[in-house]
Amino acid sequence: MIIEARFNGPPGSGNGGWSAGVFAAAHGAATGPAEVTLRRPPPLDTPLRLTEGAVHDPEGALVAQVAPVDGFPAEVPPVDRATAEAAAAAYPGLVDHPFPGCYVCGPQRADGLRIFPGRLPDGRTAAPFRVPADVTPATVWAALDCPGGWAVIAPGRPYVLGRIAVVVDRLPEPGDECVVVGAQAGGEGRKALVRTALYGPAGDLLGHARATWIALPAS
């Protein structure tokens, strides 16, 4: 397995959702339900090996762990596309982003997924998502990543993905105009629990996730 450099999250490391999707696919669980725990930032352009659910780098350091999980319900209801577009127009990452080059939600990435989750009045996030031509299950894992983080990210308080469990019900078609939503579901200390869901053009559920995000120490 190799996480190509263009699929970065924070500088120098893989986007958590995309990387988790790649690891799950290598484990034979591309569509889940599966859970990936990131033990360190996934390195870019580096050969990684998977053995019995453990992902290691060439030096033998543990990068991630993959495990099957029981199915779980989607907990974030859909919104219509117009509502998602209005939320995205006020996406806080457009003016203050901890990782503006992120493949999924970075405003500096013209070649990224360009998912810009803005806040709804009830605290959820929502964003439109145009599916790329080269869609794979890892694309869905990636799309289900950042909208959860933006339910807790605040100015001067960056978070990174620590663990994500995903169910992919169906792959969207290239060019589909989808909506992704996220919400905080709890947390304690530096850990935040979030939920996300991806809906197709007709409002059909395509995939959903639960995740744990970890606040980085204040700089």
Q: Grade residue 156 by pLDDT with cuts at 50, 70 and 90.
A: confident
Taking only the tens place, the pLDDT of each residue in 194-219 is: 999 999 999 999 999 999 999 998 65
> Rounded to whole angstroms, how far apart are CA atoms 141 and 47?
21
Looking at the DSSP assignment, which residues form a beta bridge with residue 186?
Answer: 193
pLDDT number for residue 218: 65
- Residue 181 DSSP SS3: strand
Model's pTM, two decimal places? 0.96
- DSSP conformation letters of 5-46: GGGBSSTTBB-HHHHHHHHHHHTT-TTSSEEEEESSPPBSS-
- The vertex-178 CA angle with 45 and 108, nearest 5°, equals 45
Looking at the DSSP assignment, which residues form a beta bridge with residue 178?
Answer: 129
pLDDT number for residue 104: 98
Q: Grade residue 148 by pLDDT with cuts at 50, 70 and 90.
A: very high
Task: Give the mean pLDDT of the chain.
Answer: 96
Q: Could you tell me the end-to-end alpha-carbon distance of the chain, in angstroms, rounded to an integer? A: 33
Q: Grade residue 157 by pLDDT with cuts at 50, 70 and 90.
A: confident
Q: Grade residue 120 by pLDDT with cuts at 50, 70 and 90.
A: very high
Q: Grade residue 155 by pLDDT with cuts at 50, 70 and 90.
A: confident
**How many CB atoms within 10 Å of residue 199?**
26
Q: How is residue 163 written in tokens?
A: 């663990």
**Domain coordinates in residue numbering, the chain:** 2-215
Mean pLDDT of 39-67: 98
CA nearest to 160, candidates 209, 207, 194: 194
The strand ranges marked E within the chain are 34-38, 49-51, 54-56, 62-68, 118-119, 125-130, 159-168, 177-188, 191-199, 205-215
Mean pLDDT of 113-118: 98
Residue 17 has pLDDT above 80, yes or no: yes
Burial profile 22-35: b = 16 or more Cβ within 10 angstroms, e = fewer: bbbbebebbbbbbb
Assigned CATH class of 2-215: mainly beta
Mean pLDDT of 17-32: 97
Taking only the tens place, the pLDDT of each residue in 173-192 is: 999 999 999 999 998 889 99
